[in-house]
């Protein structure tokens, strides 16, 4: 979802709809497709790739209670390159993204539905290559959009601080509310962005050592960013630990960008060190790229990403794409 829309709805971005959502419904979305060359040292492949294309509707409605609004978002992913209506190739043409309904007022916002966890959202705009071949989800745990969520976000306190908590329900027989919990605190003031996200027994996703669901993770994520008209600097540090197995990840991310007119040049380095039962493995991602705003809603971009691990595997991806927002 557009980070400006959710900039404080479930983790760095729930409260924003309280102020930003106009009486709707409003249709919005983006189509993002790239030509990618992927070289793993053995094979060299050219593909057309969709990069988180989406279509959504958002809005708010008066309830008749002073200061209280109903809010909603229904956002779906679009497979722009090889969606198969029969799913014969495993590519659904339409998938579920953030879909929720809630109430918002001076107390903050209460939401229910399918949502990015606060820990995922707390990254803000630190990931310079979000939704591309160099997205941090390739090597970082905690990049989860969770189903069956009940969430609450405070209003912005002192015009700078917002807290969010999301309760995830397993819906298994006998389980109560909040089998897993994700929470965040975000501070934004002028050019400075600080965020803290924490997951407690949340189903895993991504990472080096952390295995796939239903393994449960405890995650602590710290994020810092500094943004001006010409400069962006971002840092993230994260610890992820499986609650049962002796597996853990430690991640460090450092990136930045320089902006001049319609051109933005980006550089980012990320590293995750995994420890699985005493056996360590380190995965790194180095990415360099540039965005050029052809128009107000049209961006042409290119990037080169190099992904390596301790086993000697190296993947290089060259990506040239166009993103069209509407």
Domains belonging to the chain, first-starting first, are 3-325 (2.40.160.10)
What's residue 90's pLDDT? Answer: 56
End-to-end CA distance of the chain: 13
Closest CA to 315 of 288, 283, 289: 283
What DSSP line would sit under 151-170, residue for residue? EEEPPPBTTTEEEEEEEE--
DSSP state of 174: T
What is the Cβ-side half-sphere exposure of residue 286, based on CA atoms within 13 angstroms?
A: 5
The pTM of the full predicted model, rounded to 2 decimals, is: 0.86
Rounded to whole angstroms, how far apart are CA atoms 178 and 155?
Answer: 22
In DSSP terms, which residues pair with 115 in a beta bridge?
146
* Distance of alpha carbon 83 from alpha carbon 80, whole angstroms: 7
CA atoms within 13 A on the CB side of 267: 2
pLDDT at 305 (0 to 100): 97
Q: Give the CA dihedral 283, 48, 260, 266, nearest 10 degrees.
A: 0
The per-residue pLDDT string of the chain (326 residues; one tens digit each, 9 = 90 and over) reads 333 333 333 443 343 344 443 477 999 999 999 999 999 888 999 999 999 999 999 999 998 898 899 999 999 999 988 755 455 555 678 899 999 999 999 999 999 999 999 999 999 999 999 999 999 998 898 899 988 999 999 999 999 999 999 998 877 777 778 788 999 999 999 999 999 999 998 877 656 666 544 577 899 999 999 999 999 999 999 999 987 777 889 999 999 999 999 999 999 999 999 887 777 889 999 999 999 999 999 999 999 999 998 877 889 999 999 999 99
């Amino acid at each position: 979802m557009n980070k400006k829309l959710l900039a404080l709805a479930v983790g760095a971005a729930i409260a924003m709809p309280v102020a930003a959502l106009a009486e709707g419904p409003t249709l919005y979305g983006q189509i993002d497709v790239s030509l990618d060359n992927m070289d793993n040292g053995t094979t060299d492949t050219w593909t057309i790739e969709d990069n988180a294309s989406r279509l959504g509707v958002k809005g708010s409605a008066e309830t008749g209670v002073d200061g209280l609004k109903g809010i909603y978002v229904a956002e779906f992913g679009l497979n722009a390159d090889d969606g198969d209506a029969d799913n014969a190739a495993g590519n659904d043409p339409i998938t579920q993204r953030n879909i929720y309904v809630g109430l918002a007022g001076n107390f903050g916002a209460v939401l229910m539905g399918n949502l990015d966890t606060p820990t995922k959202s707390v990254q803000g705009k630190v990931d310079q290559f979000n939704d591309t071949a160099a997205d941090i989800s390739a090597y970082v745990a905690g990049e989860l959009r969770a189903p069956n969520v009940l969430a609450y976000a405070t209003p912005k306190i002192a015009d700078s601080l917002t807290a969010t908590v999301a309760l995830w329900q397993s819906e298994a027989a006998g389980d109560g509310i909040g089998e897993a919990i994700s929470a965040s605190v975000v501070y934004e003031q002028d050019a400075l962005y600080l965020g803290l996200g924490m997951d407690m027994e949340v189903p895993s996703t991504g990472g080096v050592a952390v295995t796939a669901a239903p393994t449960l993770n405890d995650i602590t994520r710290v994020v810092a960013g500094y943004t001006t008209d010409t400069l962006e600097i971002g840092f993230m540090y994260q610890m992820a630990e499986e609650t049962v197995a002796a597996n853990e990840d430690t991640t460090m991310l450092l990136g930045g960008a320089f902006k001049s007119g319609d051109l933005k040049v980006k550089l980012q380095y990320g590293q995750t060190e995994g420890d699985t039962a005493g056996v360590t493995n380190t995965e790194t991602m180095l990415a360099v790229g540039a965005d050029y705003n052809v128009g107000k809603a049209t961006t042409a971009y290119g990037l080169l990403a190099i992904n390596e691990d301790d086993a000697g595997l190296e993947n290089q991806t060259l990506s040239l794409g166009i993103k069209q927002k509407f």
